[in-house]
Chain A
Amino acid sequence: MTTDRTRRALLAAAAGSTVLGSAGCVEITTPADLARATDITGNVSYFVGTEWLRERLGSVTVLDARQERFFRAERIYGARRVPLGTIIARTESNDGHGLVPDTDTLAAAIGELGVAPDEDIVVYGDTVGARVTRTVFVLHALGHRGNVHVLNGGFMAWNGRVGTGRASTPAPVTYDPDPKPDLWVHRAWLADHVGTFNDDGPGLIDVREPDAYVAAVGSDALEDEHARHGHLPGAVNVHWMGNIDGRSLADPAELYQRYTADAGLTPDEPVVVYGNDNVDPTQTWVTLRAIGFDDVRLYDGGFGEWANQDDQGRYPVETGTTAVVDVDGEIGGTDGGDFTCN
């Protein structure tokens, strides 16, 4: 059953957020305040505020990237849920160069949502985390022709019409993909560029926790299923969570400074991002594109593929470097990197 109602839960939360000032003044945060805080100004693509969406609700397709229980509890009215497990499919490239997005499977998953290639899309989650951005990446990888946006601030900032309970199932469509392989790279491409990253070749960003990047002995950040630890030679570490402040995109000017001055990237040159898998790094993939990087590519195989290659000479890892850009980002809600495929 679907119920139309106002954001009672949000109003209750807002009422509880009253803060007593030291001089006895009272500050009250209203749903409108939360919504306004999601507005994005300046030359930033993808991210839109709640007001922007409210004005267009009904004319754009809204995709909910959260876990099912949150979707059922409450969602933006008319939203369709994107199960994460359906949009991470990858396959060995035909020429044996490594794992790449399985565009046929991904297209089928998007088609199951009743999304056609020319629809304008808004994706939201609990935050602007990796579940959301993986959805955005997949749409681009499939050559989606409509505009794709991300709701800044996530669901908690939404103060418009909501739905709850089981959603009606959209009528599936045949999504005819037009894959864009220039948006990703494979293992062999990276191996051919070893030694050039962040030097005279492409930029390369490792989005994982710094402990994983430096292969800190005994750290929980080291994945047991990885035969080796460390990072791709030349990669600079910028943890993806630093792109997020609470539930919103971090300050774009600070992000630009971080990725250019601190990490040494050049916005008009190719940049590759990777993580352990193909979900978390899409947050940086979207963020970089949002702040003006022209050519951002995802290594869909991730460090998990690289580290388990037998040909260690062709796929080396480094441990003895500390090119870590410190970030102090935090992520609210339930969209953290510790996602589950449901």
Chain B
Amino acid sequence: MCCQGDGVVSVHDFETGNPIGKIPVGGHPVHAHAIDGRIFVATMDERTLSVIEPNGDVERFRVGVLGPSHFASAAGTLFVTCTAGDVVAAIDPFEPRLLARIGVGAEPHELVAHNNRVFVGSRRDGVVSVIDATTLERCGDVEVGADARIEGVGIDHTGTRGFAVDRRGERLVGFAPTDLTVTGTVPIGSDAYDLTVADDVVYVPAQGSGTVHVVELDLDDQRVHPGFERPVEVHEWDETAWVVDRGRARLESLTGRSVEIPAGAIHAQPTDHGFVLAHYDDAAVSFVHPTTGTVWTAETGAYPLGILLV
């Protein structure tokens, strides 16, 4: 668990939740990514990345720009957004070392890789910048709108449809990943910052309005599910869409099922046996089965966010 408030990664036994230890990694760790036995930790309050080596040693190396936050991997290269700046850092995960910084729309945040290209949403410039993962060059931008604050970004499994959540504009924007044009938009609720692209639909939870939007891939239609408190993520599990709600100690499905959980959660990591949940506001992590309920709960450092299973 990346514990943003304590600058540590909290390590737990997956079977029991028992704490194994805490690894200091630097300011505001938010997300982690494992490659080749190494764990890369994005420390958002630093201009460096932390790397936890297989033997537990922590190395740090400079990316140069503040705010490493989200990871994506493509063409053997690890990419991390520097959210306080206007670049994505490209990392050789095997050395590890900084290969390049690539200019993108300012305040890049979420990113997704597909077919050796990386799509990066800008919170400030209203673009989704596209990086060629083989040449490490920016090959274009999708112009979403000057006032757009882009948060979640996703590509469907066919690679023919891209999606971006415009949090400020309260809309889901579709784009063509190949010619980088906007193909359509659909209104969504307020304060949305994430999306999940499934086989047939896009799920967009809008925490401000307490709604979950289920949008057809071609953006022609959507179903709105109201009644949530602060929905932040949706995950398909066992052919059911489950909603992670930060304001409610309950995991609820869009089909009406629900299960009690220890506290509201900000992030979930699906596994074959259920969900690992980050209880950001309660400094805890839990493992929950959608049918049988909570398997275990454990304390973490302050403000746990990113979850990594290794």
Contacts and interface: CB of A to CB of B under 8 A. Distances in A.
B87 A313 contact: yes
Closest 3 CB pairs of A and B: A312-B103, A320-B84, A195-B64
A226 to B, nearest CB: 12
A228 interface: yes
Contact of A321 (B64, B84, B101, B104): B84
Interface of B: 47-48, 62-67, 82-87, 100-104, 106-107, 124
A314 B82 CA distance: 14
Q: Interface majority SS on B: helix, strand, loop or mixed?
A: loop
Contacts, number: 67
Contacts of A311: 103
Given A228-B106, A313-B101, A319-B107, A195 B84 contact: no
Contacts of B47: 195, 199, 233-234
Interface of A: 194-196, 199, 215, 228, 230, 233-234, 311-314, 316-321
15 contacts: A195-B47, A228-B86, A228-B106, A234-B47, A234-B66, A312-B101, A313-B103, A316-B64, A316-B101, A316-B103, A317-B85, A317-B86, A317-B106, A318-B85, A318-B86
Contacts of B103: 311-313, 316
B65 A194 contact: yes
A313 B83 contact: no
A215 B107 CA distance: 12
Contacts of A234: 47, 66
Contact of B82 (A199, A215, A316): A316
Nearest to B102: A313
A294 to B, nearest CB: 26
Interface class of chain A by DSSP: loop
A137 B249 CA distance: 63
Contacts of A321: 66, 84
Which of B47, B86, B100 has the most chain A CB atoms closer than 10 A to its own CB? B86
B63 A195 contact: yes
B107 to A, nearest CB: 6
Most buried by B among A215, A230, A316: A316
B87 A316 contact: yes
B84 A318 contact: yes
B87 A320 contact: no
Contacts of A199: 47
Given A228-B106, A313-B100, A319 B84 contact: yes
Nearest to B61: A195
Nearest to B82: A316
A199 B66 CA distance: 12
A194 B66 contact: no
Contact of A314 (B48, B101, B106): B101
Nearest to B67: A320
A195 B65 contact: yes
Given A195-B47, A228-B106, A316 B86 contact: yes
A233 B48 CA distance: 12
A312 B87 contact: yes
A233 B47 CA distance: 9
Contact of B124 (A196, A312, A316, A319): A319
A320 B85 contact: yes
Nearest to B45: A321
Contacts of B106: 215, 228, 230, 317, 319
A235 B23 CA distance: 29
B65 A316 contact: yes
A196 B48 CA distance: 10
B173 to A, nearest CB: 20
